[in-house]
Amino acid sequence: MTQRVLTGITTTGTPHLGNYVGAIRPAIAASREPGVESFFFLADYHALIKCDDPARIARSRLEIAATWLAAGLDTNRVTFYRQSDIPEITELNWLLTCVTAKGQMNRAHAYKASVDANVAKEEDPDAGITMGLYCYPILMAADILMFNAHRVPVGRDQVQHIEMARDVAMRFNHLYGQGKELFVLPEVEIEESVATLPGLDGRKMSKSYDNTVPLFEGGSKALKEAIARIVTDSKLPGEPKDPDSAHLVTIHDAFADAATRDAFRADLRGGLGWGEAKQRVVQLIEAHVGPMRERYADLIAHPERIEEVLQAGAAKARATATPFLSELRQAVGLRQMVAVAQAQPGKAAVRSDVPVFKQYREADGQFYFKLTSAGGDLLLQSQAFAEGREAGSWVKRFKTEGAQALAGAPVSLADGVDAATVEAALAALVAAQE
Ligand code: TRP
């Protein structure tokens, strides 16, 4: 079965080399594996929790989108979108908020850390804490559950959030699923094999340590300058060096094949000077990053192209989110009055008198559904879907909402059949299920 892999990228800051090696590159590689359907999105609603400077929010969204595209993300293969383009996520956020225990949010690490910091400073425990920060894990659960992701690759600091998403999903399934799993329970995925890249001083490369190497910013000049500042021991050229204790080597290895790695180590043991060693590292990274940097500059110069890609991604994501959210609304009881009014108590139709939906797959590999009358006449024909699941969600929607689902639905009336006939058939179907 296809595994859905989903991850969010909070749009604050500008990506550095550590982000590329630790997150972007492995995610793109994983998205090319067979049997995987990847959802990558810009978590710009999450960014608002951390930043209230509109210009920075806008800039960071653009730069991060351009970085992923320049790094080779294939948007025909993956679904790449902005969280804020999917209104269904915020709607789901509320449905989930209503089943989330406040006590569980009290225990969230990010919130607790802020409270602890306030207490340490002898301030009010809630000083500067917004409801956005407090409810952060629920929004994240909505991101994940909206698309029924099986796997969520994240950093260690996010593990608790995925566990919370599972809990909320379980609770929702239990309350509203009527024995059916409305939500897939997501699994956290920690990439053990992916190295964390050390920064200039040898600690983990991170903006908060101010030890980063820029990925694209400042061009090859800035790259050269940053590499020159990497801390090494003070051995002179000619003196043998220990490659295993030099984080310059770790940075080198992140861009080198096995043979290049071995040669670099051997040369350092043989006395290669640090200056020359750094030049090699610059060349190696430049060969990898240079072409990406050109694509990046081109994208930044044409933000409308990025916009177009993201709009297309949003449409793709919403093709799943819209019918699923409508199913969830039904499940919690937010239903059309019409379907309720048309149901005739005590007069449930006999199954065989009721029109039927059929789902099927054509020789073209695409999925379809159709509605036929109890007598077998074709009433309604769907268009083609790439995923059987999409056809399934529409059928489910028609069965619960009846004729209300017709507006904007990807279906057409059969020749010679009028809308009233179809509406009546759908009403009969809904009534039969009451
Ligand atoms: N909170 C995540 C982070 O800071 C980003 C994120 C938001 C996310 N929504 C998500 C990650 C959903 C995975 C799934 O890294």
Q: What is the pLDDT of residue 343?
A: 53
User: Which range among 20-24, 147-151, 361-365, 369-373 has the greatest average pLDDT?
Assistant: 147-151
105 shares a domain with 24: yes
Q: Which atom of ligand 1 is nearest to the CA of 43?
A: 7
Tokens of 268: 């350092």
Q: Which helix (H) or strand (E) holds 230?
A: none
Whether ligand 1 lies within 6 angstroms of the CB of 154 is answered as yes
CA distance 124 to 84: 32
For ligand 1, atom 14: residue with the closest CA: 7
Q: Report the distance separating Cα 214 and Cα 14, nearest Å.
A: 8
* Residue 161 confidence class, pLDDT cut points 50, 70, 90: very high
Question: What is the number of domains present in the chain?
Answer: 3
Does 319 lie in the same domain as 364?
A: no
Let me know whether 312 and 264 are in one domain.
no
What is the four-CA torsion angle of 213, 217, 221, 227, rounded to 10 degrees? 0
Give me the mean pLDDT over the 70-79 stretch.
96
Give, for ligand 1, the residue of 79, 146, 154, 157 to mutate: max count of ligand atoms closer than 8 Å to Cβ: 154
Residue 345, domain member (yes or no): no
pTM, 2 dp: 0.77
Best mutation site among 5, 12, 42, 46 for ligand 1, i.e. most ligand atoms within 8 A of its Cβ?
A: 46
Asked whether residue 67 falls in the same domain as residue 132, the answer is yes
Q: Do residues 17 and 222 lie in contact, with contact meaning Cβ atoms separated by under 8 Å?
A: no
Residue 328 and residue 419 share a domain: no
Range of 1-15, 281-295, 420-434 with top mean pLDDT = 281-295
Could you identify the atom of ligand 1 that is nearest to the CA of residue 149? 14
Per-residue pLDDT tens over the stretch 42-73: 999 999 999 999 999 999 999 999 999 999 99
Cβ atoms 191, 153 nearer than 8 A: yes
Residue 70 near residue 295 (C-beta atoms within 8 A) = yes
* Closest CA relative to residue 252, chosen from 266, 234, 237, 271: 266
CATH no. for residue 32?
3.40.50.620
Range of the domain at 425: 356-432
Computed on alpha carbons and rounded to an integer, the radius of gyration of the chain in Å comes to: 27
In a domain, 209, yes or no: no
15 found inside a domain: yes
Q: Is 7 in the pocket of ligand 1 (CB under 6 A)?
A: yes
Domain of 227: which CATH number? Answer: 1.10.240.10
Gap between the Cα atoms of 58 and 129, Å rounded:
23
10 close to 50: Cβ distance less than 8 angstroms: yes
SS3 84: helix
What is the reported pLDDT for 361? 87
Residue 275, in any domain of the structure:
yes
pLDDT of 279 above 80: yes
- How far is the C-alpha of 376 from the C-alpha of 351, rounded, in Å? 14
CATH number at residue 421: 3.30.160.160
How many angstroms separate the alpha carbon of residue 106 from the centre of ligand 1?
Answer: 19
Same domain, 394 and 309: no
Of 291, 311, 345, the residue that ends a domain is 291
Residue 371 lies in a domain: yes
Contacts 24+ apart (CB under 8 A), 344-352: 344/431, 345/434, 347/431, 348/431, 348/432, 348/434, 349/428, 349/431, 349/432, 351/432
* Cα(417) to centroid(ligand 1), Å: 48
State both tokens at 13. 């800051």
Percent of the chain with pLDDT over 90: 78
- pLDDT higher than 80, residue 344: no
**Which spans in 302-386 are helix H?**
303-332, 337-342
* Domain annotation covers residue 73: yes
Looking at residue 127, what is its pLDDT? 96
Q: Both tokens of residue 194?
A: 């992916």
How high is the pLDDT of residue 404?
87
271 with 361, same domain: the answer is: no
In a domain, 350, yes or no: no
Positive or negative torsion for Cα 312, 316, 321, 322: positive
pLDDT digits over 186-233, tens only?
999 987 666 689 999 999 998 889 999 999 999 999 999 999 999 999
Check whether residue 168 and residue 309 sit in a common domain.
yes
pLDDT digits (tens, 9 = 90+) for 397-434: 998 888 889 988 999 999 888 888 888 888 888 887 76
| pLDDT score recorded for residue 194 | 62
Which strand (E) or helix (H) includes residue 8? strand 3-10
H/E run at residue 381: strand 378-382
Window from 17-21, 348-352, 404-408 with minimum mean pLDDT: 348-352
The residue-averaged pLDDT of 154-170 equals 93
Low-confidence winner among 121-130, 328-337, 415-424 (lowest mean pLDDT) = 415-424
Query: Does residue 365 surpass a pLDDT of 90?
Result: no
pLDDT at residue 27 is higher than 60: yes
- End position of a domain, from candidates 236, 266, 291: 291
Q: Looking at the structure, do residues 306 and 287 belong to the same domain, yes or no?
A: no
Q: Are residues 52 and 118 in the same domain?
A: yes
Which atom of ligand 1 is least distant from the CA of 46? 7
Ligand 1: atom nearest CA of 136 is: 1
φ, ψ of residue 222 in degrees (nearest 5)? -65, -35
Residues 239/277, Cβ–Cβ less than 8 Å: no
The reply to whether 54 and 154 lie within a common domain is: yes
Asked which of 234, 267, 291 is the last residue of a domain, the reply is 291
Strand pairing class (151-153; 36-43): unpaired
Q: How far is it, in rounded angstroms, from Cα 361 to Cα 368?
A: 6
Looking at residue 349, what is its pLDDT? 45
Residue 203, domain member (yes or no): no
pLDDT in tens, 241-273: 999 999 999 999 999 999 999 999 999 999 999
What is the arithmetic mean of pLDDT over 98-121?
95
Q: Residues 22, 137: one domain?
A: yes
